Structure 1
Amino acid sequence: MQRLSGLKQLSLLLFSILLMFSSCKEDLVTIGEGVIGGEPFNTDKAVYQVSLTNNKLTTVQTNRLPLYQLGNFTDPIYGTTRARIVTQVQIPASDPTFGDLPQATEVLMDNSGILDTLPENEEVTAVFLYLPFQTEPGSGDTDNDGVQNDFDVDPTSADSDSDGDGLTDGEERVRGTDPLNPDTDGDGIIDADDEETIANNFARSFSLDSIYGQRDMPFRVRVEENTFFLRDLDPNNNFEEDQTYFSDLDLTAFAGQVLFDGELEISAEQIVFFQEDAEDTEDIDESTLLDNTRTLAPGLRIPLDADFFQQNLLDQEGQPSLLSQSNFRDFFRGLQISIDASNDIMLLFDLTEANITVEYQYDDINNNGTTEDTTDDFVEKDERTYTLNLLTGNILGIGGNAVNQYTSENFPADIESTIATGTDDSRLFLKGGAGTFAEIQLFGDEATSEATIEEIRANNWVINEANLIFYVDRDRLTSVGGTVEPPRLYLYNAETNQPLYNIITELTFTDTPLGRFQNYGGILEEEGGTGLRYNVRITEHLNNIIVRDSANVPLRVVLSADILNVATREANEAGATEQVDIPIMTTITPLGTVLIGPNPEAALEDKRLQLQLFYTEAN
């Protein structure tokens, strides 16, 4: 009986377990069916106001820049900006020797008769200042046929014939002939019929960047000696901090001897040099062959006064002025470079790539290969080149100093008034250089923003995307005949100066200014060849505010030549007592634009600046 009772209890236990399992299984099926059928999640869009303040700068720090402006840029809205450069010049090494012998040896008496103490009589024959242009980032050759897109009749096809000589651009690349010249060697026979053209013996053309204005017209350049001493360290801070110079520093009174004053033109071709004809190769004329070791990228190559460098460089050999870099900077205080105000051209230069080449000849001792027999020794002229740098650059920063001086016209009265009063937020006025910047506050002023943020939190929204849409004031830009529109906007935290993009999670198509940070965006969207709007994604920044309780700080809006470089420089704001930090890449761009603000007239209501949220919520 006890055994049967135990079996009965076991049977009841097993039955109970099976019943529980069956119930759970039925419940699971029921819940699952409810999720699928009830659509528990909903996606939607919401828009919120932002507040706006326009701000004007009076000066910006303009020394130790990655690029320097030179020339005149006329913005049809903001007026003309003129930029000149004052730069140091540096010797590559202290106490240089010109020729073969140091000066201390040249002045010795020749007691041995070996002519080893001969005065070398160094003489400058030519001096050139080289300022290389900026070239378009990336290859600039979509079809990879050897022709940059700007010069290619069909940038999408290597079968195009850009010079009409019967050879495709792709074929010319293989043959080593010039795809932009039907007769590469100039012998009267077009390349398609010429079997004797020397391969790759021509100057190549490159797509140039950062040149604004009348680039097809000659312009007048003036290069002068600078007599103002540019300090590297600030004496007001015990020489412990870098000296800062600002864009309003006028050094024209410190211009000395004129080293060049003449007209130049822009060429997209390389600067090439030819070899010297060798006497021992009668069947080859080397003077028709390029010396590829000397080829320079497209740029300005400006002849300078040879006598000046004779007196201030070669004649200083062995003197205290060349014993150290600091001595030389004090002795020769650099150059002032400007473009005549009548020329509408603005160029940007990287002065770490610029240099001055001093070509000179000197007396050289030729011993005919014998050191013991001096009877056949004679003196002949030899040639050398000595290179001076303007600035130098490495991973530690920029060596040397240069300053950009900006002179700008007053803004139109309505823009000046809008910025000064701070009461009109119908437009954003953005101008590079010593121009303007804007500040925006998400969700409006402080009084309303906190309540809005709390409301979003209470809704338990998942923010999928957050955008700020900046529409171009097309009517204003069109009314003045159009302008060079800035390719990108840069937004950053006004308190920390940090960008709103996350470099770790960003999407990059190409390693170029407009190929990077595609998630962030901010790139000008065009319609019919003119600018329509800029869309800046700030999703992570907004989630930091809503989810992670970060502060809703003001955001600065500026123009930037490259948002990868987030370094800032000091600037002075009109009517303010404290300096502000402005991105260094804002200070180097001359461009400007006008955007629709958060409270435009009724006709532009659909284009007003606002914050767009795309979110998901549970039903």
Structure 2
Amino acid sequence: MINNQFLKGLAIAFMALFVVSCDKDYNSIGSDIVGNEHFTFGDGELFGVRAYSQKTGAIQTNNLPLNQLGVLNSPTFGLTKAHFVTQLEMVTANPEFDASAAIDSVVLTVPYFSKKVETEASGRSIYKLDSVYGWSISNKMDLRVYENGYYLKEFDPNNNFGVQKYYSDEKALFSSNKIGTTTPNNPNMDNRLNDWIDPNPKDPTRLNDDKRENLLFYPNEREYVKYKVNESFVQTTEIESRNSPRLRMKLNEKHFKDKIINAPAGKLVNNSVFKEYFRGLYFEIEGSSGALMTLNFKQGDVTIYYKQNKSATSTDKVMKEFRFNLLGNTVNVHENTFDAGYVSALNAPIDPVEGSSSLYIKGGEGSGAFISILNDQEKAKLKGNIINGAFLTFSIDRSKMGTSTEPNRVSLYNADSNIPLYDFYFDGTTNASDPKTNKYVYGGMIEKEAVGSDKKGVRYKINITEHVNNVVNKDSTNVKLGLIVNENINYVGNSFIRTSFNTPNPDNKKVDRFPSNSVMSPLGTVLYGTHSSVPVDKRVQFKVYYTKPN
């Protein structure tokens, strides 16, 4: 027992020692992100592997930690439009508005994921947006915000009052029940709530940002500066705060005056009643141009700025705020026009022995891959040996990916029980500056060309040492593995598929859910598969480094 513990500790020490080394057969490949770790214990030995892709179909998208909003045109996978619905919650319930209350503005704010890259001498910060795809000043989109008219239930009365599920293909529920302002401020505006244009923008250097945010939307990487307001309620040039970039829109004041300030008695008494009365906001994308953003809407809010008499006996005004957080139930709905090549690849026959020649892995309402390793003969060969390292390596098919945006990470999971592999839990590594790269010993992060202006992705490599050791030496079940795009390695959870399916023979495994990490990602990749038609150096590689005990 003591010897086993010593050897186990020795293996872990070796893994840490070689964390920055690279396999000799890939020494021309580098990476511009954390995670280019390869552990070598001798040359290792290749073992058989079989893999194929499967589409998810419509998938559960309610109450995800992160959501997508916008448009993504992928030459490989097609067009995706992501719409979003969220309930609101009052920060302070049962407010008291009097007859003098007059709205100054209503502002919707949602921070982008961003990184500060520089602070200028003036104090202005320069940011780079993260998790925004297809971003460009010229690539504007038609983003419309409405009051949501469809009530999002907590529990499903048609399923023994279990948790209510909403799916990616349910856009009609919300588009047919949207509520807008009945008196648009501007012509040809549909009845959206974000119909506001400032005729006299206070800061001409911002190039009519208010108009851009409301009508010709594109994500802005500029820091948001909040200016102080004087006693006459006039904005000054004195800076109150500097903030990271954020989606910021002004919403129709009359609509919120009618619905909130002049709400019928009892409708704002608590958030349960309020959510039935005001059913949230619906963000809808029109057209097929723009960018796609991954956002944490729970960090957003809607704030009503209003003036009101100081007291019942005074006509002097005071500025007040009434804020809603974007909390409560949420749903992401997708409109997909899939590329014909992607559809054809997912519908192609799967060789029951060799698997597929290509693996299409896509987030959202997309696809994943299923992988088999270690037949009985291979398990017998490895049994009793010390498993120093075991890795699955997936090469990217550059000819099929073209210019499509690549996901930064893929991951494996136990597809029999829909949980992460033991290696995921075993890895406690973290990166404080970029939490998305946590668990970098486990790996799965994209490795890119070391040279070249575009530095295209070359491969993904995942550490499954503990999993293989458990299967070989601890009689754990040799489960089927699932491969997905992973938007956030720190989240563990599953989303149900609307229509479950069985994997093809000889597996014949029922699949009724996928990891939610895949659902939160808008991106996809094409990997070389395991079929003999794929060149040997491009096929999925399963390599094990092991030591025979003395």
TM-score bin, normalised by smaller chain: 0.7 to 0.9
Q: Pick from 103, 126, 131 the counterpart of residue 105 of structure 2.
A: 126
Match of 1:612 in 2: 543
Q: CA deviation at 1:334?
A: 1.4
Instruction: Look up the SS of the partner of 2:166 in the other structure.
Output: coil
Name the aligned partner's letter for residue 324 of structure 2.
L
Other-structure match for 1:470: 394
Q: CA–CA distance in 2 between the matches of 1:379 and 1:581?
A: 60
Q: Which amino acid aligns with 1:131?
A: V
- After superposition, the Cα gap between the structure-2 partners of 1:551 and 1:275, relative to the gap in structure 1 and judged at 3 Å, is same
The residue number in structure 2 matching 1:454 is: 380
Q: Distance in 2 between matches of 1:461 and 1:419?
A: 41
Q: Show the counterpart of 2:288.
A: 342
CA displacement at 1:362 relative to structure 2: 1.7
Structure 1 segments unaligned to the other structure (5+ residues): 1-41, 99-118, 148-171, 179-199, 280-284, 367-376, 392-399, 444-448
Structure 1 residue 300 displacement after superposition: 1.5
Structure 2 residue aligned with 1:49: 48
Contact residue 570 and residue 579 of structure 1 kept, 8 A: no
1:249 matched to 2:180? The reply is no
Letter of the 1:437 counterpart: G
> 1:425 corresponds to which residue?
356
Residue 530 of structure 1 corresponds to which residue in structure 2? 456
State the SS of the aligned residue for 1:274: strand
- 2:479 is paired with a residue of what secondary structure? coil
Query: Does the alignment pair 1:233 with 2:155?
Result: yes
Alpha-carbon displacement from aligned partner over 1:84-119 (angstroms, at most 9, x marks no partner): 112212212331223xxxxxxxxxxxxxxxxxxxx5
Does the CA-based 8 Å contact 2:52-2:529 persist in structure 1?
Answer: no
Match of 1:332 in 2: 278
1:498 maps onto 2:419 in alignment: yes
1:331 and 1:428 map into 2 onto residues whose CA distance is: 47
- Contact 1:432–1:586 at 8 Å: present in 2 too? yes
- Aligned pair partner of 1:289 in 234, 238, 258: 238
Q: Any residues of structure 2 matched to 1:506-521 within 5 Å, and which?
A: 506-510=428-432, 512-521=434-443
490-499 or 550-559: bigger deviation: 490-499
SS of aligned partner of 1:288: strand
In terms of fraction of residues, the more strand-rich structure is: 2
Asked whether the 8 Å contact 2:167–2:333 carries over to 1, the reply is yes
Secondary structure of 1:228's aligned partner? coil
Pair 307,579 (structure 1): closer, same or farther in 2 beyond 3 Å: farther
What is the match of residue 199 of structure 2? none
**1:386 paired residue among 322, 341, 351:** 322
How far off its partner does 1:573 sit?
Answer: 5.3
The more displaced of 270-279 and 465-474 is 270-279
CA shift in 2, pair 1:600/1:345, >3 Å: farther
Helix, strand or coil: the match of 1:503? helix
Q: Give the deviation of 1:365 after TM superposition.
A: 3.5
Amino acid at match of 2:364: G
**TM-score w.r.t. structure 2 length?**
0.79
- Check whether the contact 1:488–1:523 (CA below 8 A) recurs between aligned residues: yes
1:599 aligns with 2:544: no
Cα distance in 1, alignment partners of residues 297 and 260 from structure 2: 21
Instruction: After TM superposition, list the pairs within 5 Å mapping 1:131-530 onto structure 2.
Output: 131-136=110-115, 141=117, 146-147=118-119, 177-178=121-122, 200=123, 203-217=124-138, 218-239=140-161, 241-250=162-171, 251-257=174-180, 258-261=192-195, 262-277=215-230, 287-292=236-241, 295-316=242-263, 319-365=265-311, 378-391=314-327, 400-413=328-341, 415-423=343-351, 425-443=356-374, 449-457=375-383, 460-478=384-402, 482-500=403-421, 501-510=423-432, 512-527=434-449, 528=451, 529-530=455-456
Is 1:225–1:334's contact at 8 Å kept on the other side of the alignment? Answer: yes
3-state SS, counterpart of residue 272 of structure 1: strand
Q: 1:94 to 1:414 in 2, by over 3 A?
A: closer
Q: SS in structure 1 opposite 2:468?
A: helix
* 1:352 shift after superposition: 0.8
TM-score w.r.t. the length of structure 1 is: 0.70
In structure 2, do the counterparts of structure 1 residues 456 and 358 end up closer, same or farther at CA, with 3 Å as the change threshold? same
Shift of 1:204: 2.3
How many residue pairs end up in the alignment? 462
Report whether the alignment pairs 1:556 with 2:535. no
Query: Is the CA contact 1:488–1:560 (under 8 Å) kept in the aligned structure 2?
Result: yes
Q: Structure 1: how far apart are the matches of 2:314 and 2:388?
A: 83
The alpha carbon displacement at 1:236 in A equals: 2.6
Whether the 8 Å CA contact 1:212–1:346 is kept in 2: the answer is yes
Q: Report the counterpart of residue 585 of structure 1 in structure 2.
A: 517
Structure 2 residue identity aligned to 1:235: P
Once the two structures are TM-superposed, the CA of residue 609 in structure 1 deviates from its matched residue by 0.7
Change beyond 3 A, Cα 1:270–1:290: same
Residue aligning to 1:541: 467
Displacement after TM superposition at 1:405 (Å): 0.6
Question: Cα distance 1:613–1:358, how it changes in 2: closer, same or farther (>3 A)?
Answer: same
On the 8 A contact 2:55/2:346 being kept in 1, the answer is no
CA distance in 2, matches of 1:127, 1:278: 20
Distance 1:418 1:339 in 2: 27
Distance in structure 1 (CA, Å) of the matches to 2:409 and 2:542: 18
Q: 2:53 touches 2:369 (CA, 8 Å); kept in 1?
A: yes
Identity %: 30
Query: Bigger radius of gyration, 1 or 2?
Result: 1
Q: Alpha-carbon deviation of 1:272? A: 1.6
Match of 1:336, SS state, is strand
When residues 299 and 521 of structure 1 are mapped into structure 2, their CA distance, relative to the original with a 3 A threshold, is same
**Do the aligned partners of 1:53 and 1:439 also contact (CA within 8 Å) in 2?**
yes
Structure 2: distance between partners of 1:335 and 1:354? 12
Go from structure 1 to structure 2 and tell me whether the alpha carbon gap of 1:90 and 1:505 turns closer, same or farther (over 3 Å shift).
closer
Q: Deviation of residue 275 (structure 1)?
A: 1.9
- What's the Cα RMSD here? 2.5
Task: Give the counterpart letter for 2:419 in structure 1.
Answer: Q
